Amino acid sequence: MSGDGAAGAEEDMEGQTHLEDVREALDADEASGADGTDGADEASGADGTDGDAGGTTNATDGSSTRSPKVITAGHLNWDVTMYVDRLPGPDGETRIDRLEQSGGGSAANVAVGLVDLGGRAIVYGSVGGDESGALALRGLANAGVDPGHVLIDADQPTSVKYVIVDGDGELCMLANDGANEAFSAADLDRDTLAAADHLHLTSQQPETATQLSNAAHDTDATLSFDPGRRVGERAYGEVLASADLLFLNTREAEAVAETTDIDPWKPEDRVVAIKLGGDGASIRTPHGDVSHPGFPVEPVDTTGAGDAFAAGFLATALCEPAIVEDGFSHDPRDYELPLLVGNACGALAARAVTARVDLSWDAVRERMGESPEADLLIEIRT
C-alpha cells in the first residue's frame, strides 16, 4: 500500500470519529463495566429471554449502547498442551518441559474472549458424555459463557487436541474428531438464534455451516466465518459466499482464492480480515484496505491467537452501529479500532500459556501502548 493512499484516506476522514481518542474510548469501555465482570452476569441470561437489558460503551465514541449478543458455533475441545524446547525429528525424542490441560476449540475460545471484553456469548457445538466434556463445559460456564445449548453425545468421546509448542512458540497439533461435529443446525433453537445480533461460525460440517448461515440471514443477524485450516478441503463455498465477514490467515486466503470465486485480497462484496501472524493483520473491503503490523511480542504459545484476534475485532466492531447497521461496512476506515484491538488481543494470546488468555480492557490498553494508530496504513479504492 502506498503512502499516497494513506494520506488521501486521512484527508477523507475529516468530520468522522476514528482514532483521535482511542485511549479515551478504551477507558470508557472499562468504566462501563466492559472488563468482563458485568459481562459474565449478562451471559447468564444469554438464552434470548432476559439478556437484552445488557449494555456497554461504544468503543469509538464512548456513548452507551446495547451489548451485542453473539452465538459462536463450531468446535469445543479439551486441549492437552505440551511445551518442549524443540520439536523432535523422525525417530527422535524430546523432553516435555511443561504440560497444561484446558478448554479449547475455536468457537469456545472466541466466546470466552467476547465475554472477557464485555459481550454476551452463547456457544453452540457438541462434546462427549465424558469427563473431558464436563470439564470443557464447566470452564465455559465459569468464564461467563452460556453453554446451555451444547449437545452432549454420550456415544462419542469429547475431541481432545494434543498441542506441542516449541521454544519459539510455534506449534503442531494432533487431534481426534470425537463428538466435535455431532451437532446439527436443527438442534439450535430458532428463538435463540432470532434473539442474537451476530452468528460467528468456525470449522464444522459444511452442511451444518450452510444451514446455520441461511438461518442467520433469515433472522437478519450478521454473519462471520473463520473456516480454519481445512477450508481448501471442505465444501464451504456457499457459506463463504454468504458471510458478511471472513477471518483467514494467508494460507487459508490462498486456499479460498484457489477453490472459490472469492478474491480475499480484493473482495467485491464482503469484508475479509487476513491474519498475518507476527506481522499483524489486514482488513480488506471492496472500497479499500487498512493494515497494521501488530504489536511486538515474544511468543510463548500461538495457540488461540487467531481466535483472540477474532474476539477483539468482533467485540469492538459489533458495538459500533455505523459498522453493522446494514451488514458490515465496506469503508476500511471504520475498521481502524477493531483492527488495533484485534491485534492487541492476538499479541496477548501469543504471550500466554494455552489458548485461553485474559482479554480485559486493561490488558488490551496496556498492550496497545501510547500511539497505536501511528502504524496504520490505509488505502482507499474507488
Which residues participate in catalysis according to the annotation? 307
70 CB-contact burial (10 Å; exposed 0-12 / middle 13-18 / buried 19+)? buried
**Rounded CA separation 2/314 (Å):** 27
Query: What type of residue sits at position 265?
Result: W
Residue 63 C-alpha from the chain's centroid: 24
Strand 245-249 relative to strand 222-226, pairing: parallel
End-to-end distance of the chain based on CA atoms, in angstroms?
A: 15
Q: Which three cell numbers stand for residue 309?
A: 484476534
Q: For the packed helices 336-350 and 361-368, what is the interaxial angle rounded to 10 degrees?
A: 100
Interior CA angle at 41 toward 218 and 144, to 5°?
75
Q: Return the sign of the alpha-carbon dihedral for residues 20, 340, 266, 278.
A: positive
> Is the CB of residue 199 less than 8 Å from the CB of residue 212?
yes
